[in-house]
Structure 1
Amino acid sequence: MRKILFTKYSNERDPRFAIRTDIWEESGKKGVSKKACYPQGKKHVESIFNIFQKLENTFQNTKIQINQCNLEEEQLILEYLSGNTLQEILDGLLKQRKIEEFKTILQEYISIIEKTAQTKFVITEEFQQVFGKIQESKEFFSAEVTDIDMVLGNVIVQGDKWTLIDFEWTFSFPIPIQYVIYRILHYYEKSNAFRNQIASWNLYETMRIGKKEQEMFQGMEENFQKYILGNYVPLRALYPRITPGVVTLPQLLNSQIPEEKLQIFMSKDGIAREEESFYFPMEQGRVRAELKIETGTVFIRLDPGEALGVVIIKKLEWKSGEKCVIKTNGIQKSENEWLFINQDPQIYIEVVPKDTEKLLIEVYKNYGLESYAQEIIKEKEQILRQKKEILELTYQLKEKEQKIQDMENTKVWKTYKKYKKMVKGD
């Protein structure tokens, strides 16, 4: 008899895509099964099985393998694999500052994926139904079938073998392979504050994904999330829809209703996903909320709006009264105050106590940056000066190295070296 060890419902979706995943044990052996939550989802489960062999063919003779999969009684049965994910391995290298090894592994993984794209990408009606209409900025190539969710957390590493354990979102129509690479980089960097350091490495540009392509792929991603949801409205989206808040007459007359919201991501695997996020309204830049923590949550991210500004955290603590340990992509100005000089401010909680039930939040955002303007300008000017000094010193060093090299190639220098050897010999 099968004993259920873990169950995950991916049901905040259109009924066509809502599935239940079970990890179970039977006769001492573990396995994984996926089945539709509703009758409308049976076709989606069958399509995952049907795409399995095509993916195997796509990656044959490479390090990437596809997790073994069978269809039994309208449910998928997959092999349970133990081991570290590629994401965990790269995190370890990042912590040890083994940057070159990190880049080598990441480049190898992406290179294998990129080589599967042998056909010129063309926009189809099926593509537009899922990803919307796009304006191509350059020529792209696509594979016969494309798993767009090859994020690093979906790959188990066992020796020299990389096994893709989740291939639910695989499509058989053309998709730019660079979009898959964009998602790999985007979800790795953005789902954890510790990984923000890779933002300065220009990995997108290295992978030939420019600013225009990033904007295009972001639009595709937003449309893809809408496609998953369909007409379904998740519970997290109901509050801001049905309770816009109380608006006073002066506010209405002066059009002072703030448009920003506090976006919250709760994750059980360390990846912040848009489709699993929810919002609280920020009335005049303020939000006070009591957040229920789902069992198994290991990572929380708070995005206080998208505009730059000063965020004051008056309260961010667990129900026990213990303050949260946080990281941000801003500049800490005081104990409770952070300055965000770039858009999309983010606050990360990477340690979530096991038995905690609630998170108490009280945050205020000040959009008036006049008092900080000079400070920001000074900081940016200092960074620019330092960069300029480094460039100048690098140029001077190269110039001196060239002079030494030129001098060593002269007849006088070669004669001097011979003379020096003779003197030493004596």
Structure 2
Amino acid sequence: MDRTIYSKYSNERAERFRIRTDIVLDVAGRKTVYKYAGTKAADPHVRRIEECFRQLQEAYRGSRIRFCPCEVEELQAGSRVSSPFVRGETLQSMIERSFRQGDWSTVETIIRLYGRRLMEAGGDSPFTVTEEFRNVFGPAGQENAYICADVSDVDMIFSNIFVEAGNGGTVLDVSADWTVIDYEWTFPFPVPKKFVLYRAIYFAYYQIFKAQGRDLSEWLAMVDITREEAAQFAEWETHFQEYLLEGGFPVRNMQRIMGTKVIPFEELLAGEQTTDGEVVKESRWIRVRRLLYHIDRLERQDGSVICSGWALAKCLDGRCIPVNIRIYGPDEKQIRADVTRSDRADVAEALKLRRVDRPQFGFDCVWILPAGQKWSIHFSMGNREIIYEG
């Protein structure tokens, strides 16, 4: 009897994109991957995956990049797409292992090889902005002379690329073939190859490296992506995520509305709880000589703004303390934000701060704001305030 050993619901998307992915083990020990439409509206999305495979197979013919085959199967309740279970190791797991071992040289080699393969394969169509592109990725901005694959799989990230077991090669062997799975986000209109590179490195930077080591811009520079291009690609990614959701809001981001702050019951009864981002009670009485801050990371994701960095106050009595952080929207009304604090001993050391009880100067702020709206971060303590406008 066949047995389902894995099931994943992608039900936070727009109804026409909701699917279920199962891995089924049969009596002979063979594994098969099935994708089902999660709603009636999603049936065309599932059916088109087979056509995506055919187009990608043709576009990348003769290259070292292959695509896991699939076919549509008709069922009484609709349709599904089946594909063989790919054995081997993903590029992501190889990068993760090298990262854990501190082997940055191998990580760099993998990323450079990845960039070279993607730029050399799939065709070299010029980038022309179409209405379909604007619908999915938003305004194109400045039209550079980008090269595009004949058919664009924008989700060719490291976790979707396998180096197959038993092929006698490794990821560092330029003769080893790669197999791509999960190519449902394939588009027939031109999408710059550099954007595909950007997405893979961006997700690796935050999911694998946890923003440690080199700056994101340095990793992107390895595949010839400039800061200006990265800023444009970040806007495309934001619009793409909004296209997938179509006004929905993922459960995984619910904390951005509700927050994660814990208020002890005793403080609630006494009315002593502080507001979001406030770290010091009666802070208005603290005399501050200077406020300092730095923004390390700023981006949009799933309809939210994510901002990370550090901020501190130098007091007249010689102390160095964290500051209060508040977010305001375009109408000067305060926006509820999820603010997480962290110790930044590196900041205290770099600035040669002396009177520091605990260097909790780091912050991660997340808040919901429609694309295009202005906002500002207010850093304050005692008698001083400084504003960063986004």
Q: Same fold (TM over 0.5)?
A: yes
Deviations 1:187-246 (A, max 9, x none): 100113456214278222232211111111000000000000013344456786699x9x
Q: Kindly indicate whether the alpha-carbon contact (under 8 Å) linking 1:16 and 1:41 is maintained by their aligned counterparts in 2.
A: yes
Q: Of the candidates 96, 110, 116, which is equivalent to residue 111 of structure 1?
A: 116
Q: Kindly indicate whether the alpha-carbon contact (under 8 Å) linking 2:99 and 2:209 is maintained by their aligned counterparts in 1.
A: no
Query: SS where residue 144 of structure 2 aligns?
Result: coil
Partner of 1:145: 151
Tell me if 1:221 matches 2:237.
yes
Give the superposition deviation at 1:93.
2.5
Query: SS where residue 197 of structure 1 aligns?
Result: coil
Partner of 2:222: 206
Query: SS where residue 102 of structure 1 aligns?
Result: helix
Give the superposition deviation at 1:46.
1.2
Give the superposition deviation at 1:345.
6.8
Partner of 2:72: 71
Deviations 1:81-138 (A, max 9, x none): 2332111112222333444333223212221111234111010000000001121252
Q: Kindly indicate whether the alpha-carbon contact (under 8 Å) linking 1:309 and 1:366 is maintained by their aligned counterparts in 2.
A: no
- Matched letter for residue 91 of structure 2: L
- Residue ranges of structure 2 left out of the alignment (5+ in a row): 170-175, 262-273, 279-299, 313-320, 323-339, 349-355, 367-376, 384-390
Q: Structure 1 residues 330, 239: closer, same or farther in 2, change over 3 A? A: closer
Query: SS where residue 33 of structure 2 aligns?
Result: strand
Partner of 1:284: none
Query: SS where residue 16 of structure 2 aligns?
Result: coil
- Partner Cα distance (2:92, 2:256) in 1: 34
- Partner Cα distance (1:205, 1:211) in 2: 8
Query: SS where residue 54 of structure 1 aligns?
Result: helix
Q: Structure 1 residues 204, 338: closer, same or farther in 2, change over 3 A? A: same
Give the superposition deviation at 1:49.
1.1
Q: Of the candidates 165, 170, 181, which is equivalent to residue 165 of structure 1?
A: 181
Q: Kindly indicate whether the alpha-carbon contact (under 8 Å) linking 2:157 and 2:200 is maintained by their aligned counterparts in 1.
A: yes
- Matched letter for residue 104 of structure 1: T
What are the equivalent positions in structure 2 for 1:268-287 lying under 5 Å apart?
274-275=301-302
How many residues matched?
290
Q: Which moved more, 1:55-64 or 1:191-200?
A: 191-200
- Matched letter for residue 338 of structure 1: Q
- Partner Cα distance (2:211, 2:5) in 1: 31
Partner of 2:91: 86
Q: Which moved more, 1:103-112 or 1:35-44?
A: 103-112
Q: Kindly indicate whether the alpha-carbon contact (under 8 Å) linking 1:117 and 1:144 is maintained by their aligned counterparts in 2.
A: yes
Tell me if 1:127 matches 2:133.
yes
TM superposition score normalised by structure 2: 0.64
Give the superposition deviation at 1:344.
5.7
- Matched letter for residue 361 of structure 2: L
TM superposition score normalised by structure 1: 0.59
Q: Of the candidates 190, 197, 204, which is equivalent to residue 174 of structure 1?
A: 190
- Partner Cα distance (2:99, 2:191) in 1: 31
Percent identity over the alignment is 27
Partner of 2:43: 42
- Partner Cα distance (1:142, 1:9) in 2: 31
Q: Structure 1 residues 327, 76: closer, same or farther in 2, change over 3 A? A: farther
Q: Kindly indicate whether the alpha-carbon contact (under 8 Å) linking 1:308 and 1:367 is maintained by their aligned counterparts in 2.
A: no
Q: Kindly indicate whether the alpha-carbon contact (under 8 Å) linking 2:19 and 2:38 is maintained by their aligned counterparts in 1.
A: yes
What are the equivalent positions in structure 2 for 1:13-412 lying under 5 Å apart?
13-27=13-27, 28-73=29-74, 74-115=79-120, 116-136=122-142, 138-158=144-164, 159=169, 160-193=176-209, 196-199=212-215, 202-235=218-251, 274-275=301-302, 305-306=307-308, 308-309=310-311, 330-331=344-345, 337-340=359-362, 367-368=379-380
Query: SS where residue 16 of structure 1 aligns?
Result: helix
Rg larger in 1 or in 2? 1
Q: Kindly indicate whether the alpha-carbon contact (under 8 Å) linking 1:193 and 1:329 is maintained by their aligned counterparts in 2.
A: no
Q: Structure 1 residues 145, 200: closer, same or farther in 2, change over 3 A? A: closer
- Residue ranges of structure 1 left out of the alignment (5+ in a row): 246-255, 261-272, 280-302, 313-325, 347-364, 372-426
Query: 1 or 2, which has the higher helix percentage?
Result: 1
- Partner Cα distance (1:44, 1:21) in 2: 13
